[in-house]
Structures are given as C-alpha cells and as structure tokens.
Copies of this chain bind each other. A is one copy, B any other.
Amino acid sequence: MEHDLNHHIVSAFDRDLEGIQARIMKMGGLVEEAIINAAKSLETRDEELAERVRSGDAIIDALENQLNEEAARVIALRAPTAVDLRVVLSVMRMSANLERIGDLSKNIAKRTGVLVQMQPIGGTAASLRRMAREVELMLKDALDSYIQRDEELARDVIERDRDVDQMHNTLFRELLTFMLEDTRNITACMHLHFIAKNIERMGDHVTSIAEQVVFLKTGEKPGEARPKMDVTSTDAALTGANGLSESED
C-alpha cells in the first residue's frame, strides 16, 4: 500500500515534469524563431517581419510566467526530492534565460526599424545573420541536450560559444573601421554594434542553459572556470584599441 502510494506520487511528479518540459520546448521553439527572424528582418530590411518579432515577444514572456507558476505549484504540491527539485529549479532558470534571449531578439527587431532608414554598412548585416544562425543552432542543441540529458552535447554547446565571441570580436573591429573611415557611419555602426553585442549575449544565455545540463548530470558547474573570461580580459588590457573586452563575467 505504501509502495503504491509512493509510486503514485513519483508518477504524478513525472507527469507534471513532462508538462513543464513540453512548455519549455515550446518556449525554446518560439525563441529560436525570434532569433532567426530578428536577424533576417535586419538583412532583408523587412519591417513587417521585425514588427512580428516585436509583438511575438509577449507570448514568450507569458510562457515564462506560466512556467514559473507551474514550477512553483509542482514544488508546493509534490515536495520533490533533492534531485527532482534541482530539475524543477533548473527549468525556472532556463526559462529566465530563454526570456532574456527573447528580449534581446525583440531589441534587434526594434533597431531594424531604425536601420532601414540608413545606408547599409558593408556586409555587416550578413555577418550578423550568420552569427544569429550560429546562436540559434547552439540553442537548439542546448535544449536537445537538456531533454536527452546529454552532457557531451551540452559541453559541445559551451565550446561553440567561443566561435560566437570570435565572430563578435571580428565584427566589432570591422565596425570600428567603418566608423573611423567616415563619421557619418557612426550612428548606424552603433546600432549594428548593439545588435552584435545582443547576439553575443544570447550566446552567453545559451551557454548558461548548457551549463545547467552539465550541472544536472554531474553536480558541477562548468561555468566556474570558463576560459574565455581571462583571455578576453588580458587581451583587452594588452592590445587596447583592438581588443575591447566584450566579456561581462
């Protein structure tokens, strides 16, 4: 009898968790779409698509609220064990990361509205689209790694964030050159730089999701000693003009 009762409780928790995970996957899908569409609207100068990204963010925000409510309800109702509790709390953190990525996509879409009124700056919009595509693929893999509890895939995602940082640094130097060449480019370049920075920060949020997968599997946070921080910082201090540090850690 007692065994049955326990069994029943475990199953109820599993069912709840499945519901929560389905919702986070839905949220993840919308966020992936927002990343891609924000970058695409910029490159194709599609104001209508940009507006869709901006208005679509409300749905992502609503999903985060629902996820938080649901997670709190599950904790209160099921009183999960330490390990299960960790899973639920990680979902709450992941949804916060996803919500931030949604915000950053929305911000890019806002800037599209301003940038269409200015001259395009070289091939920077295409570079930004490639960067966004890379982050979107990382997010897809990070979410897969969560569902499959695939530590190796999660670590792969964390590694790939360096490529995004690299792309960002290259683009940043390019934008500096455009500004130095012609001061009339400065305003557009500043917008483009904000966009690059937003995509780079998306990469950090995706990395944070992947780090939580590693944490769930190993109990250790790979983020504690992420190599990129120190390198970027030293780089900035040594090279000055060219190595503006982008790391916020």
Show the binding face of A for B, using Cβ within 8 Å: 65, 68, 72, 75-76, 79-82, 85-86, 89, 92-93, 96, 103-104, 106-107, 110-111, 113-114, 117-118, 176, 179-180, 183, 186-187, 190-191, 193-194, 198, 221, 233, 236-237, 240-241, 244-245, 247-249
Q: Does B114 lie within 8 Å of A240, measured CB to CB?
A: yes
Residue among B96, B103, B194, B248 making CB contact with A104, cutoff 8 Å: B248
In angstroms, Cα B240 to Cα A187, docked, is: 8
Q: Which residue of B lies closest to A104 (CB)?
A: B248
User: Taking chain A's interface residues, is the majority helix, strand, or loop, or is none over half, making it mixed?
Assistant: helix
CB distance from A6 to the nearest CB of B (A): 16
Q: Does B179 lie within 8 Å of A118, measured CB to CB?
A: no
List chain B residues, Cβ under 8 A from A117. 240
CB distance from A165 to the nearest CB of B (A): 14
Q: Does A190 lie within 8 Å of B244, measured CB to CB?
A: yes
CB distance from A89 to the nearest CB of B (A): 6
Using known A-B contacts A89-B92, A190-B176, determine if residue A245 contacts B72 with beta carbons closer than 8 Å: no
In angstroms, Cα B111 to Cα A191, docked, is: 21
Residue among B76, B89, B233, B245 making CB contact with A81, cutoff 8 Å: B76
List chain B residues, Cβ under 8 A from A198. 248
CB distance from A104 to the nearest CB of B (A): 6
List chain B residues, Cβ under 8 A from A180. 183, 186
